[in-house]
Amino acid sequence: MAFINMYTYSSALHLQTRLVVLMPESVEAQDIPVLYLLHGGGGNSMSWMSHTSIQRYAEEKGIAVVLPAAGPSRWLDMKLGPAYGQYIAEELPQTIKRFFPKTSDKREHTYIGGLSMGGGGALHLAMLYPERYAAVCVLSTSSVIPLEHLRTIKGYPPPPGGEGAPSLPQIHLGVDDPDELKGTKYDVLHQSVRNIEEGKPLPRIFHAVGTEDHAFEVGLALRRHFTSLEGNPYRYEFYTEHAAHTWDFWDKYIAKFISTLP
């Protein structure tokens, strides 16, 4: 499997961006499935690489993996920064198809996932763009509007601008508390119901969080919501075990998610 560290310009962000791409090397491969895998807060394109065996799992399955970087964002269009949501969901698939023509651009072979902040980003984008993803892998996230108040550690990481600078919710969303966006398109629960009402295709949801994780209560609330939808239209599956917010857990469950792919 090829490990590709690349730099290319993003029009959506108006920035040179770095991408790590894991690409099957087989010359016979066609219509290669693609997993967009999002890192957590403070991470970058190397986070999944350094801390898990993602390359081995992708190679065994024969899928491509794209590891973008969130920069200062939470994977959504920023109030005080560039449009990362558009970048991931709209521009990046075109970029990948252009440089790697044998990758699939079909919804049924396109997946998105992430850990922590990346799990929340993946879920948000899957709800905003359900027609783009066949499945979403949500690991240990509490970055889910309107459930963030259920996170069991309070407060936010320090603002990147230093003391006295605008808070993360302010730079990300223009609010002091992300849960204020309840009822808007950024409300995952609300969007999930709208997608059903509007007859959109619905991604399968694979969700895992450890019982000792500060995101566990958020996870239970997500489970309550998705299992309450009649007929389980998102084919929602929940996994848990005695574990905390750790890389061991994410390594195990990304492998498990990949094993559920066709």
Partner 1 sequence: MAFMQIDMYSKMLTRQTEVAVIIPERNAGSGPFPVVWLLHGAFDNSSGWWRNTAVEHYAEQYGLAVVMPSADVSFYANGPLGRYFDLVTQELPEVLGSMLPLSRDPAQQVVAGLSMGGHGACKLGLTRPDLYAGMAILSAGDFLDLGNPPPGSFLEDIHLKLFGTAVAEELRGTEHDMIHLADEAAKRGGPLPKLYMTCGTEDTAYDSAYKTFRHLTEKTGVVGEWHSLPGEHDWAFWGKVLPDVMRWCASVVRPSES
List interacting residues with partner 1 (CB under 8 A): 5, 7, 9, 14-18, 41-47, 69, 71-72, 80-81, 157-162, 165-166, 170-171
Please identify, using beta-carbon distances, which residue of 46 and 261 lies nearer to partner 1.
Answer: 46
Please identify, using beta-carbon distances, which residue of 55 and 240 lies nearer to partner 1.
Answer: 55
Helices (H) and strands (E) in the chain, counts: 9, 8
Please identify, using beta-carbon distances, which residue of 45 and 191 lies nearer to partner 1.
Answer: 45
Provide, rounded to whole angstroms, the least separation between the CB of residue 14 and partner 1: 5
Cα separation, 221 vs 151, in Å, equals 11
Please identify, using beta-carbon distances, which residue of 15 and 193 lies nearer to partner 1.
Answer: 15
Please identify, using beta-carbon distances, which residue of 69 and 221 lies nearer to partner 1.
Answer: 69
Provide, rounded to whole angstroms, the least separation between the CB of residue 145 and partner 1: 21
Which of these, 160, 70, 64, lies nearest to 120 by C-alpha position? Answer: 70
List strands edge to edge, sheet with 34-38.
2-10, 15-23, 64-67, 34-38, 110-115, 135-139, 204-208, 237-239
Cα separation, 190 vs 73, in Å, equals 22
Cα separation, 262 vs 259, in Å, equals 8
DSSP class of 156 = -
Provide, rounded to whole angstroms, the least separation between the CB of residue 117 and partner 1: 11
Burial zone of 164 (CB within 10 Å; 0-12 exposed, 13-18 middle, 19+ buried): exposed
